[in-house]
Structure 1
């Protein structure tokens, strides 16, 4: 048995882009010798109930040359495309996995279950050609670049493999990230966030996963605070990337909404540390995250207009009266969505993910410089709670101040959700629920301002019918905002009366 912690980074691209990869100057200068060509055939195994997948484990047997290699990989962790996971390998004589080899592995408990041992069967197959180059990256770092083209098959379903993997052989992970950043500058490549096994399981399911909301975080109060901070960053980035592909495919607008939520949560998580060196390193990336959020925000605003406001107006005004307005909304929406997809696919976004990964790898300890996770949480919660408390007279606030109050309420909610698992009882749930209701009201008021701005922009020279529909829309928006403002004071008083659950 050979075992190690695999550290690798994946880049996705067309076959044309991958064909040019070996000729790029960063690759040519780092390569040791010529590329080696392999043809690989891999069979992945699981139970009918997919128990291995449920435990974050992938088991395969792969033909390499004339022999077979059995391999098992664990769940691991990922930030910005940099994956780190346990991998164990054994040479075997046949394409059937030898379960006895797993008895002394970290995964033995899973495979000791009779229902798992007896029920393992092939679930999907991969066949691809691999071009391999060994690279010297400088600073005592070495890596293997594997350029893979082929396909995944699950029954009659097929999906293309067209990617490059860069695996660290020795040295520091940031060498991989710097090398990948040089590649995405020169070719249309995207950072890949799903493993081949994850893609195989998605193909097996027959349909892509639906939009994914932020999951419930369970933090270990006894773990170092830095580990908790990294867990928050990983969870936020997972939400972004789990929804990114759905948005790029052009499906449910909820994918875009969840990408934006993930970006907001990530910005809050990365702003938690109170460390000067961290702040200095994060500051340029803060601007890049804001750029990406703005790029996606325009499309989301038009989604809301099309999906939420127009259906309400159709009930009030009738469908035919909205034809001109609907045409403008849908036209602007398509334009904004195309721009948002270009932003997500851009080299600028790929650099952002790689630089964020580098920041957390190099300065991860500064994410939570205090020793106690609970103290780290209390400090962050108290700071955000104090900031929101400055807006005690919500009804007297000007629109810009209300906007800032909404943002601070949202940030407090995210931080509360991050750390709620550290406290037992119902206080945390009650606090977050009341905060959510307050945030929703402030959001409705802000949505009204955004909708007015969009409709107020109008369509110069547009039809009278559109002007009439826009007028009806504005009246509806005014009524909706008035209703939200009418509830604002009572919701604030309920929230202000709650004792902070972390004190």
Structure 2
């Protein structure tokens, strides 16, 4: 929802363990930049919404908070942003008590929109926050920053869609928020980058309200559903650099939100890791697709290498997810009536789950590292950079050539019969088709809807067919590492699983020729 103009915040949130925050707040890294004395205040807030959370679902938050002896009603709405730096609209109004009064909202358009969304439903209390806040003014060269240190708690009762405990649930608050008051935002990111070398913290993407609402709905502060790619649309007259920055901003938020979910639900909901990897792929697609639009000395190539390494590490966990979900579990169901095979497959499944757990542990260690925090900061810093002459060309001058080059690259790799290609060559082809698909989706809004949808469907079909063939190669590698000399039962279960994959590969190969032909026949949607 687009809200009318108002006060815009540009802020960055850092999440600390309480012990680390205690060290950080007393450090010279803070005191040396501080201007004036620190102020302290206790903030108690109550967040309201309809029982079905209609305001939250439309990107809005409504709270009443006690500030300096006065109750203040605040309406917030997301109006855009860049990477992990939020840009929000905020409307503050004094009220007589701890309940909201929408009649006091002066902007008629905002008030009307809220009433339309609520459809007569009464607003109800969703969650409460109780925070002790320390406020410091920082001066870094020509940059003025308000830093707030918040410690406390978030509490909510049950009553949501999937949480059914009946008892109140809570989460702790231990965070630092930096709000830019004046000067270039790059200075804020540089300062945080320096802090990251000495202190352990994570970049936060969930507001206190979001955390409280998730507690209300699910009983956990991160929510329970994977975060999929947002719908990024732009017009042809927009510059190549503006398009790149917009797409990276969307992708890095998807990356971080799924990264927050992985430690909570990772192995129980394998789609989270999948969407985390899609976010990385989206970032890599932009870095490669619009390389000629990036500013000079942008660090694009180094960033692309770091993202590739991140994807490689997460790929091991994804491979085990696919093997278990699409190989071992279906086989167990198929042989449920055979006690000997079932026992052997369960033993194999146990080993596979242990290997997957080790892979996830490696992924999570990476997410908690300073390197990952630095990566997020560097992507955001790049998004917020000003473009130069390289990126001034309208994307309408670039997109057709970019897509045509990728399609030509695919056709060049298969000069003859696709069925004579070995499995390694087909794997390389799959990666190129995947890039073609992501690139096509990136520019989908430029083409005729029907023609564009057909081309992307053909890309997805070919990518899926090639992916199924690649699964056989991956299964052979993963299961080969689990073999044990002398453990005949386990090794027979491995052979049974590989035979299952080989049969699936044979079925896919029979259909590959036809799928490839249909891909070749799909008319490029960027051509008339």
* Alignment TM-score, normalising by the size of structure 1: 0.91
Secondary structure of 2:224's partner?
coil
Kindly indicate whether residue 356 of structure 2 is the aligned counterpart of residue 333 of structure 1. yes
Q: Residue 168 of structure 1 corresponds to which residue in structure 2?
A: 180
- Counterpart of 1:200 (choices 192, 203, 212) is 212
Q: Residue 198 of structure 2 corresponds to which residue in structure 1?
A: 186
Kindly indicate whether residue 284 of structure 2 is the aligned counterpart of residue 267 of structure 1. yes
Does structure 1 retain, via aligned residues, the 8 Å contact 2:255–2:280? yes
Gaps of 5+ in 1: none
**Structure 2 vs 1, CA of residues 332 and 134 (structure 1 numbering), >3 Å: closer, same or farther?**
same
Q: Over residues 423-454 of structure 1, what are the superposed CA-to-partner deviations in whole Å (9 max), with x where a residue is unaligned?
A: 34311111111110100111112221111112
Please report how far the alpha carbon of residue 364 of structure 1 lies from its aligned counterpart in structure 2 after TM superposition.
5.3
Q: Residue 171 of structure 2 corresponds to which residue in structure 1?
A: 159
Kindly indicate whether residue 66 of structure 2 is the aligned counterpart of residue 63 of structure 1. yes
| Cα distance in 1 between the residues matched to 2:315 and 2:370 | 19
Does structure 1 retain, via aligned residues, the 8 Å contact 2:254–2:279? yes
Please report how far the alpha carbon of residue 338 of structure 1 lies from its aligned counterpart in structure 2 after TM superposition.
0.8
Please report how far the alpha carbon of residue 359 of structure 1 lies from its aligned counterpart in structure 2 after TM superposition.
0.7
Kindly indicate whether residue 405 of structure 2 is the aligned counterpart of residue 383 of structure 1. yes
Q: Residue 23 of structure 1 corresponds to which residue in structure 2?
A: 26
Matched ranges for 1:437-448 at <5 A: 437-448=461-472
Secondary structure of 1:212's partner?
coil
- Counterpart of 1:145 (choices 147, 169, 192) is 147
Secondary structure of 1:132's partner?
strand
Secondary structure of 1:390's partner?
helix
Matched ranges for 1:419-438 at <5 A: 419-438=443-462
Kindly indicate whether residue 521 of structure 2 is the aligned counterpart of residue 497 of structure 1. yes
Does structure 2 retain, via aligned residues, the 8 Å contact 1:124–1:204? yes
Q: Over residues 38-81 of structure 1, what are the superposed CA-to-partner deviations in whole Å (9 max), with x where a residue is unaligned?
A: 11011223234433223212222221221233322221334442
Q: Residue 315 of structure 2 corresponds to which residue in structure 1?
A: 297
Please report how far the alpha carbon of residue 467 of structure 1 lies from its aligned counterpart in structure 2 after TM superposition.
1.8
Matched ranges for 1:359-438 at <5 A: 359-363=382-386, 369-371=392-394, 373-392=395-414, 393=416, 394-438=418-462
Does structure 1 retain, via aligned residues, the 8 Å contact 2:295–2:387? no
**Structure 2 vs 1, CA of residues 311 and 444 (structure 1 numbering), >3 Å: closer, same or farther?**
same
Q: Over residues 185-207 of structure 1, what are the superposed CA-to-partner deviations in whole Å (9 max), with x where a residue is unaligned?
A: 22221111112222222122135
Q: Residue 307 of structure 1 corresponds to which residue in structure 2?
A: 325
Does structure 2 retain, via aligned residues, the 8 Å contact 1:39–1:128? yes
Gaps of 5+ in 2: 158-167
**Structure 2 vs 1, CA of residues 502 and 43 (structure 1 numbering), >3 Å: closer, same or farther?**
same
Q: Residue 247 of structure 1 corresponds to which residue in structure 2?
A: 262
Does structure 2 retain, via aligned residues, the 8 Å contact 1:99–1:117? no
Matched ranges for 1:39-118 at <5 A: 39-104=42-107, 107-111=110-114, 113=116, 115=118
Kindly indicate whether residue 466 of structure 2 is the aligned counterpart of residue 449 of structure 1. no
**Structure 2 vs 1, CA of residues 367 and 92 (structure 1 numbering), >3 Å: closer, same or farther?**
farther
Q: Residue 234 of structure 2 corresponds to which residue in structure 1?
A: 219
Moved more, 163-172 or 467-476: 467-476
The alignment yields a C-alpha RMSD, in angstroms, of 2.6
* Alignment TM-score, normalising by the size of structure 2: 0.87
Kindly indicate whether residue 505 of structure 2 is the aligned counterpart of residue 481 of structure 1. yes
**Structure 2 vs 1, CA of residues 182 and 119 (structure 1 numbering), >3 Å: closer, same or farther?**
same
Moved more, 17-26 or 208-217: 208-217
Q: Residue 374 of structure 2 corresponds to which residue in structure 1?
A: 351
Moved more, 225-234 or 110-119: 110-119
Does structure 2 retain, via aligned residues, the 8 Å contact 1:226–1:366? no
Does structure 1 retain, via aligned residues, the 8 Å contact 2:241–2:293? no
**Structure 2 vs 1, CA of residues 380 and 202 (structure 1 numbering), >3 Å: closer, same or farther?**
farther
Does structure 2 retain, via aligned residues, the 8 Å contact 1:381–1:416? yes
Aligned length: 500
Please report how far the alpha carbon of residue 475 of structure 1 lies from its aligned counterpart in structure 2 after TM superposition.
2.1
| Cα distance in 2 between the residues matched to 1:92 and 1:370 | 50
Q: Residue 237 of structure 1 corresponds to which residue in structure 2?
A: 252
**Structure 2 vs 1, CA of residues 10 and 114 (structure 1 numbering), >3 Å: closer, same or farther?**
closer
| Cα distance in 2 between the residues matched to 1:278 and 1:477 | 48
Secondary structure of 1:60's partner?
strand
